[in-house]
Structure 1
Amino acid sequence: MNLEFFTEAFQDERLLWFLNRGTGVILLVLMTVSVGLGVLSTVRASSVFWPRFVTQQLHRNVSLLSVALLIAHAALAVVDEYVNIRWWDAFVPFLGEYQPLWLGLGTVATDLVIITVLTGLSRTRFRSRTWRTIHLTSYLGWGAGLVHGFGIGTDSREPWSVAISIVCVGVVAGAIAVRLSTLGQERQLERRGAAERPRRSRR
């Protein structure tokens, strides 16, 4: 293998398509894992076998990996000359010449993911409520990315692709269900604690 081999390989439109589509599918999986871990990291309960900080650390690492792959995915879409996607289409939504709706949703997902990760890395500079509000946009970014892939992907209707999308939706829905169930328990514990405080103070 030499430089000429790799040059010819990257000039092959099929290779760019495979790389672009492949990074898109892997990116959806990583974003799903990131969102799922992000939801579960807000659960206050922890286990000796799986401490809470492990979930939080995995969430951060997977999020950073998702951003790296997201940049690669957007760059491949721009480099591939089969369709006309300009570099600013990766940041400014719904202005592209090629399938502006589906491409724009991918751009929205890109912008929201980048904003979420950057604010996550600088969490101490934001108020807790502001940071949480911004961080919640990651759900919108994940949803926009899911719809983007289904709408613009040439093989998105293939059984394997549909199966991946269904599993991703199930993972996020399952994580949200777990969080909602624990949220109810946490509120009950807080109410019990608030009710017991006056009794302790009287003693």
Structure 2
Amino acid sequence: MDNALWAFGRVSGFVALALFTVAVVLGILTRSGRRLFAIPRFSVVLIHRNISVLATVFLVLHVSSLMLDSFAKMNVIDVLVPFLGAFKPFWQGLGTVAFDLVLAVVVTGLLRHRIGQKTFRAVHWLTYAMWPIALAHAIGNGTNGTAGWFVLLAVGSVAVVGTAVVWRLSAAFLETSKARQGGLL
């Protein structure tokens, strides 16, 4: 059973990271208000939201399965308080920081209408910190962190997210309202 939990924990972590990669890129695209191929803008928002939820589900599965695994020996404190874990505390702590950031984004997302759009957006910016921290956790703490296939996945993810972030920060990036005012959409 422990081998199955360990394997499930690893796979769910990889899937969560891949889905969060897609969610970050779609989030940037959503903010621009542009279409994704032939998909209308409102559908891009829904795809971003659904992939983000799915990524969060896989993250919860990742953490839960490792809490049940006798080898990982994680407890609730390890999950919520960074750098206290028994196994590679620094790298596990990065995973905890990323998890806490996801929790903050999820909670503010659920409370979006009560806390206001400005607060929601401010906290949502934490995803720009969460993603590289989660990637570093996967590389440093993961069993396959230096395996060839994972390095390819990591390099590809960095290239895709890096390109999207550079575009987001460039002068060519127009947010929806600005683009509409200029008649670009």
Q: TM-score range by the shorter chain?
A: 0.7 to 0.9
Q: What is aligned with 1:186?
A: 174
Pick aligned residue for 2:54 from 65, 71, 80: 65
Question: Residue 74 of structure 1 contacts residue 90 of structure 1 at CA under 8 Å; is this kept in 2?
Answer: yes
Check conservation: 2:20, 2:52, Cα contact below 8 A.
Answer: yes
How high is the sequence identity, in percent, across the aligned residues?
36
1:50–1:97: structure 2 CA closer, same or farther, 3 Å change rule?
A: same
**Which residue in 1 is equivalent to 2:70?**
81
Matched, 1:156 2:145: yes
Q: TM-score scaled by structure 2?
A: 0.87
Give the counterpart letter for 1:144 in structure 2. I
Separation of aligned partners in 2, 1:66 and 1:17: 19
- What SS does the corresponding residue of 2:13 show, helix, strand or coil? helix
CA-atom RMSD, angstroms?
2.3
Q: Is the 8 A contact 2:35 2:44 kept in 1?
A: no
Letter in 1 for 2:120: W
Q: Which residue pairs with 2:128 in the alignment?
A: 139
What's 2:90 paired with? 101
Residue from 130, 140, 162 that aligns with 2:119: 130
- Give the secondary structure class of the aligned counterpart of 2:85: coil
Provide closer, same or farther for how the CA distance between residues 160 and 50 of structure 1 changes in structure 2, counting only shifts above 3 A: same
Task: Tell me if 1:116 matches 2:105.
Answer: yes
Q: Could you report, residue by residue, the CA deviation over 1:107-152 in whole angstroms, capped at 9, with x for unpaired residues?
A: 1111111211221233222333322110000111111110001001
Letter of the structure 2 residue corresponding to residue 77 of structure 1:
L
AA paired with 1:119? T
Segments of 5+ residues of structure 2 without an aligned counterpart are: none
Query: How far, CA to CA, are the matches of 2:159 and 2:29 in structure 1?
Result: 14
Quick check: 44-53 or 88-97, which moved more? Answer: 44-53
**Which residue of structure 2 aligns with residue 176 of structure 1?**
165
Structure 1 residue runs without a partner (length 5+): 1-10, 195-203
Normalization by structure 1: what TM-score?
A: 0.79
**Kept in 2: contact 1:63–1:117 (CA 8 A):** no
* Within-5 A mapping of 1:47-62: 49-62=38-51
Question: Could you tell me how far apart the structure 2 residues matched to 1:178 and 1:39 are?
Answer: 9
What is the CA-CA distance between 1:178 and the residue it aligns to?
Answer: 3.1
- Counterpart contact for 1:39–1:179, Cα < 8 Å: yes
Partner of 2:24: 35
CA–CA separation in structure 1 for the residues paired with 2:112 and 2:77: 28
* 1:82 to partner: Cα distance: 1.3
How far off is 1:185 after superposition? 5.8
**1:76–1:48: structure 2 CA closer, same or farther, 3 Å change rule?**
closer
SS at match of 1:186: coil
Whole-angstrom CA distance in 2 between matches of 1:26 and 1:185: 29
CA change 1:49–1:176 in 2 (3 A) is: same
Change over 3 Å in CA distance of 1:47–1:150 after alignment to 2? closer
Which moved further from structure 2: 172-181 or 18-27? Answer: 172-181
